């Protein structure tokens, strides 16, 4: 063991194992304890799409929507005409945008693997704010424009629209539902409610979309006399509805029947941290990769109704998967009471936090329970790998024996940076410290996973230390 500083780096291993009893035979490949069989090969690159490609397609769709409005609007004149025209184009963009928002969350494998669930969730949240604004602006501009054109007040025009125009009342209810969902999704409101409460309220978005659909054809200028536009617009909504049902409902149920996931054991890893071993058949067909996660629904009386994301903490095997969970709330605490034989619906694998074969050295940077996906990657990545594991106390470190055994078997280096900043006497993840621990830091492909504060500080420190942003990958445990 080499102590770089007494508290900040509690242990360093480079090929040598400080726990003689745990050292595998020289040359014996390390086998992850959770993987009952051989690790599944890395299939990075198959069927993935990149963020730029997806954003370009979304942008082209928006241009086509504006072209549709242009095509259906031969003449715009006067204040009333301009207000109505602006309201119509914003309404069309909102009608297109909600479909995109739903598609981003449809759990489409190419998006999940190419872009990553956390980034898709950020796009969805940001897009949701724009769409709610578009819906509100659409309603107000149409009301104002119609009132100007009819030489009446906005109040009497509102009454006329709601009572005399087909399907507008239903669409208005849908619009208010969407606004409500937007309000409960604002950070201040969301932090005050349980995740599950927010999640189930969020599902009212589907009802809002259904309520607003028909008014587009009933009163929308772009569709009234354009059969082709009605066809393609309906096809877009229908396709996304089918994809949602397929990937969010049918695929998990089919996987449940095919793989027969069952809890086979629960093991304590440290204070408040347990590993759950889940057995199943034909697990290699899942093509799960170290670094990915599943949404797990444990079929017990108290847990069946919610699924929670947990990363694989060991390389997936052909008959066993392992997750490791820190008790942070109701669900994570309840997992320690799971009994062998409990059936499980596992949705996934998801996530783009997987290593590609760039040929560069790899640095894995873990904080707290963020060690889970990195533990799986540490055991399986080819080439030179360094692991830095940041924890505020010795008790918080999990997998110490496993990590040391992996380091010893593959000749890798692992640093444990333990203690509070005050104890350490500074920031253990400063650019200077990172450069001193990892030779040729700027040449490394870096994977960071930990609490959000630590992750953003680490990403900035790495960048300041000269690592290009495209070489820094991180996973957030918060959607």
Ligand X SMILES: Cc1cc2nc3c(=O)[nH]c(=O)nc-3n(C[C@H](O)[C@H](O)[C@H](O)COP(=O)(O)OP(=O)(O)OC[C@H]3O[C@@H](n4cnc5c(N)ncnc54)[C@H](O)[C@@H]3O)c2cc1C
What residues line the site for ligand X (CB under 6 A)?
A: 117, 194-195, 293, 306, 308-311, 323-326, 328-332, 369, 372, 477-479
How far is it, in rounded angstroms, from Cα 90 to Cα 131? 9
Q: How far is the CB of 195 from ligand X (least distance, A)?
A: 4
Residue 225 or 305: the one with the smaller Cβ distance to ligand X is 305
Q: Is 303 exposed, middle or buried (0-12, 13-18, 19+ CB in 10 A)?
A: buried
How far is it, in rounded angstroms, from Cα 59 to Cα 53? 10
Residue 213 or 477: the one with the smaller Cβ distance to ligand X is 477
Residue 8 or 311: the one with the smaller Cβ distance to ligand X is 311
- Alpha helix positions (H), 78-226: 78-104, 109-114, 117-149, 154-164, 168-184, 187-190, 195-202, 204-219, 221-224
Residue 44 or 190: the one with the smaller Cβ distance to ligand X is 190
Q: How far is the CB of 353 from ligand X (least distance, A)?
A: 8
Q: How far is the CB of 276 from ligand X (least distance, A)?
A: 10
How far is it, in rounded angstroms, from Cα 148 to Cα 83? 9
Give the other-Cβ count within 10 Å of 99's Cβ.
17
In DSSP terms, which residues pair with 326 in a beta bridge? 273
Residue 67 or 328: the one with the smaller Cβ distance to ligand X is 328
Residue 113 or 331: the one with the smaller Cβ distance to ligand X is 331
CB 415 within 8 A of CB 389: yes
Residue 149's Cβ-side half-sphere holds a number of Cα atoms within 13 Å equal to 15
Q: How far is the CB of 17 from ligand X (least distance, A)?
A: 26
How far is it, in rounded angstroms, from Cα 145 to Cα 83? 5
Q: How far is the CB of 337 from ligand X (least distance, A)?
A: 13
Residue 172 or 333: the one with the smaller Cβ distance to ligand X is 333
Closest CA to 386 of 406, 356, 358: 406
Long-range contacts of 298-304 (CB under 8 A, 24+ apart): 298/263, 298/335, 298/338, 298/342, 298/344, 299/342, 299/343, 299/344, 299/345, 300/334, 300/338, 300/342, 302/334, 303/331, 303/334
Q: How far is the CB of 236 from ligand X (least distance, A)?
A: 28
In order of 180, 197, 478, the CA distances from 310 in angstroms are 30, 20, 11
Q: Encoding tokens for residue 445?
A: 């492909």
Q: How far is the CB of 40 from ligand X (least distance, A)?
A: 18
Residue 220 or 290: the one with the smaller Cβ distance to ligand X is 290
Q: How far is the CB of 313 from ligand X (least distance, A)?
A: 6
Chain length of the chain = 479
Give the three-state DSSP class for 435: helix
How far is it, in rounded angstroms, from Cα 472 to Cα 465? 12
Q: How far is the CB of 157 from ligand X (least distance, A)?
A: 43
Residue 94 or 403: the one with the smaller Cβ distance to ligand X is 403
Residue 436 or 452: the one with the smaller Cβ distance to ligand X is 452
- Closest residue (Cβ) to ligand X? 329
Q: How far is the CB of 257 from ligand X (least distance, A)?
A: 23
CA angle 347, 352, 357 (to 5 degrees): 130
């Amino acid at each position: 063991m080499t102590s770089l500083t007494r508290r900040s780096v509690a242990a360093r291993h480079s090929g040598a194992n400080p726990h003689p009893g745990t050292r595998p035979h020289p040359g014996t490949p390390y086998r992850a304890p959770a993987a009952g069989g051989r690790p599944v090969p890395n299939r990075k690159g198959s069927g993935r799409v990149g963020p730029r490609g997806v954003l370009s397609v979304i942008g082209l769709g928006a241009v086509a929507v504006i072209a549709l409005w242009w095509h259906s609007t031969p003449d715009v004149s006067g204040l009333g005409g301009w207000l109505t025209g602006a309201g119509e184009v914003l309404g069309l963009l909102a009608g297109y945008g909600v479909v995109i928002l739903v598609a981003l969350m449809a759990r489409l494998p190419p998006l999940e693997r190419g872009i990553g669930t956390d980034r898709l969730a950020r796009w969805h949240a940001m897009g949701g704010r724009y769409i709610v604004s578009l819906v509100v602006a659409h309603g107000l501009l149409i009301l104002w424009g119609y009132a100007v054109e009819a030489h009446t007040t906005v109040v009497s025009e509102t009454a006329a629209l709601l009572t005399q125009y087909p399907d507008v009342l239903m669409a208005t209810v849908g619009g208010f539902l969407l606004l409500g969902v937007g309000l409960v999704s604002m950070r201040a409101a969301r932090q005050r409610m349980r995740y599950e409460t927010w999640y189930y309220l969020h599902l009212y978005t589907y009802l809002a979309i259904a309520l607003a659909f028909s008014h587009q054809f009933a009163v929308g200028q772009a569709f009234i006399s354009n059969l082709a536009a009605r066809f393609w617009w309906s096809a877009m909504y229908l396709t996304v509805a089918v994809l949602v049902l397929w990937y969010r409902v049918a695929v998990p149920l089919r996987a449940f029947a095919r793989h027969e996931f069952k809890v086979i054991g629960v093991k304590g890893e440290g204070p408040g941290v347990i590993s759950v071993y889940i057995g199943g058949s034909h697990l290699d067909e899942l093509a799960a990769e170290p670094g990915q996660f599943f949404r797990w629904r444990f079929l017990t009386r108290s847990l069946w109704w919610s699924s929670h994301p947990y990363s694989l903490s060991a390389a997936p095997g052909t008959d066993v998967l392992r997750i490791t969970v820190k008790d942070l709330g109701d669900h994570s605490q309840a997992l320690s009471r799971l009994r062998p034989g409990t059936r499980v619906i596992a949705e996934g694998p998801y996530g783009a936090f997987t290593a590609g074969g760039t040929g560069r050295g790899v640095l894995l940077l873990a904080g707290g329970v963020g060690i889970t996906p990195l533990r799986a990657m540490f055991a399986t990545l080819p080439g030179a790998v360094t692991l830095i594991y940041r924890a505020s106390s010795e008790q918080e470190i999990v997998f110490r024996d496993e990590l040391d055994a992996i380091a010893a078997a593959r000749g890798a280096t692992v640093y444990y940076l333990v203690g509070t900043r005050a104890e350490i006497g500074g920031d253990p993840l400063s650019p200077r410290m990172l450069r001193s621990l990892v030779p040729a830091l700027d040449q490394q492909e870096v994977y960071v996973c930990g609490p959000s504060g630590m992750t953003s500080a680490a990403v900035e420190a790495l960048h300041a230390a000269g690592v290009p942003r495209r070489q820094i990958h991180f996973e957030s445990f918060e959607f």
